[in-house]
Amino acid sequence: MSLEKKIFLLFLLIFIIGILYIYNDTKIHFPIDNVHISGIKNANKENINEYAEKYLKNKSFFLFNMSELKKELEKIEWVDSVSIRRDYPRVVILSIKEHKPLVIWNNKSYINNNGEIFFVKNVSKNLPRLNSKNNRSQALFKYFSFFSDNLLKNKINDKIVEISENNIRSLSVLLSSGITIRFGSKNINDKMKIFFKSYKKILNTSDLKKIRYIDMRYSNGFSIGWK
């Protein structure tokens, strides 16, 4: 056997031994010592801890699957997004950002402050309700935001209890004062603007406690229904 062939076989043997050593080396280099979790208020802490343990226990500080852990955590109820970072030398920090429920959608789910629907098992918070048999959560959320902003802007001491839309998209708003405002299905933003311009006149000329509804569906005005 030639010298060159012997050298080649020697290097091949060393290479194979090295590969076997790497794959059989069970020692974890730079193991994670601590996991810090923050931001949990409504989310299931046990579920978060389970995933953290699954992806971080007995894992290297530099080699754990960060993207997969993030993906799994963001599937948990109430969790909106997760930020994961390494704190040298051996600490992993999980910052949980939860959904902030702003309104209840069709009594089955929430809409957060970004207008996104998210589902939870128990919808129990005392929040304004948006109801529609049509798949128009974004449209109703925009009406809710517009109307809420104008309540504050005009310093009206009233709150939205419910905004509902029927099959023909006719919109009505129920206020905490017990008054229902009917806006119809056309030019709703314009009619809302007219309502707020007219509200002070209604307030000055009427006893709000006696009003059952205000009908804004007219092209040139509105009508009042009494209790």
Residue at 148: amino acid letter: S
Q: What is the pLDDT of residue 198?
A: 86
Asked if residue 190 has pLDDT above 70, the reply is: yes
Same domain for 213 and 106: yes
**What is the phi-psi region of residue 169: left when phi exceeds 0, alpha when psi lies from -120 to 50, beta otherwise?**
left
Residue 14 domain-assigned? no
Of the pLDDT bands very low, low, confident and very high (cuts 50, 70, 90), residue 126 is confident
Cα–Cα distance list, 11 to 2, 19, 85 (Å): 15, 12, 41
Same domain for 192 and 168: yes
Q: Which of 73, 113, 118 is nearest to 92 (CA)?
A: 73
Residues 6+ positions from 147 with CB-CB distance below 8 Å: 160, 163, 173, 192
Residue 43 domain-assigned? yes
Q: What is the span of the domain harbouring residue 168?
A: 102-226
Q: Which of 107, 113, 108, 185 is nearest to 144 (CA)?
A: 113
145 alpha carbon, distance to own chain's centre = 16
Mean pLDDT (the chain, rounded):
87
Same domain for 64 and 92: yes
pTM for the complete prediction?
Answer: 0.79
Same domain for 217 and 115: yes
- Of 69-78, 85-94, 145-154, the one with minimum mean pLDDT is 85-94
Cα–Cα distance list, 45 to 114, 155, 180 (Å): 24, 40, 41
Q: What's the CA gap between 144 and 129, in Å, rounded? A: 10
Same domain for 78 and 179: no
Same domain for 75 and 136: no
Same domain for 215 and 109: yes
Q: What is the pLDDT of residue 20?
A: 44
Same domain for 182 and 149: yes
Residue 25 domain-assigned? no
Same domain for 162 and 140: yes
End-of-domain residue from the set 65, 81, 98: 98
144-177 tens-digit pLDDT: 999 999 999 998 889 999 999 999 999 999 999 9
End-of-domain residue from the set 81, 98, 115: 98
Q: What is the pLDDT of residue 40?
A: 95
